[in-house]
Structure 1
Amino acid sequence: MTHYTHTRLGEDRRVTIPAKVCTRLGLAAGEPLVLEEDHGTLRLIPCGHLLRDVQAAFAPYHTPGESLVDELIAERRAEAARE
């Protein structure tokens, strides 16, 4: 659902996000945000949302229980043993 809320750019070029928006999105003070600029439009995206989207995009390529880190460590140890 799209919500529109008005705010202003302050003299120090800061934007205040209204409390009701923060509450609705579960944002806390100090929350990292990404500012996306696209064809004259600005969009603020919580970093947690971006992380969730990236994880969802890669989920089809991940096998539950599989650890690529453990696999890499095992490969490196095998290489070291061969040397």
Structure 2
Amino acid sequence: MKKSTPDSLSDASPDPLPEPERVTIDEAGRLVVPARFRKALGIRGRQQLVVGLEGDTIRLRTPSAALARLQAIARQKRRGSESVVDEFILERRAEAARD
């Protein structure tokens, strides 16, 4: 049976995500992110990451991925087409008027 090849780049499937891998944390609390993970996320050189806890999981994200996640959360929390900033200012003005 002949193995099929994609006719164009759009038919090609994306690179699969790296399989989980064990890493060791050294005495100073450092760990090395394996090269194939760094490559998959486009992390090069001395780049900063955002670290967070989600349940019992430590998450490492690139700053752009962390920002996209925060923006998605903010969109979910947004009520209607109101401006969150305008709503905040109105709340603060009402609070100041009560004082």
With structure 1 as the length reference, what TM-score do the two structures score? 0.51
Q: Secondary structure at the match of 1:21?
A: helix
2:58 is matched with which residue? 43
Cα RMSD (Å): 3.6
Among 55, 59, 62, which residue is 2:75 paired with? 59
Among 26, 48, 69, which residue is 2:42 paired with? 26
- Write out per-residue CA displacement over residues 3-56 of structure 1, whole angstroms, 9 at most, x where no aligned residue: 223432224332110232122123452212125562xxx533327545544543
With structure 2 as the length reference, what TM-score do the two structures score? 0.46
Give unmatched runs, 5+ long, in structure 2.
1-16
Distance 1:74 1:11, change over 3 A: closer
Give unmatched runs, 5+ long, in structure 1.
none
For 1:59, the aligned partner's letter is R
2:20 is matched with which residue? 4
Query: Does the aligned pair in 2 maintain the 1:34–1:47 contact within 8 Å?
Result: no
For 1:25, the aligned partner's letter is L
The number of residue pairs the alignment matches comes to 77
Distance 1:68 1:9, change over 3 A: closer
Indicate the structure with greater helix content: 1
For 2:60, the aligned partner's letter is I
Whole-Å Cα distance in 1 between the matches of residues 27 and 88 of structure 2? 51
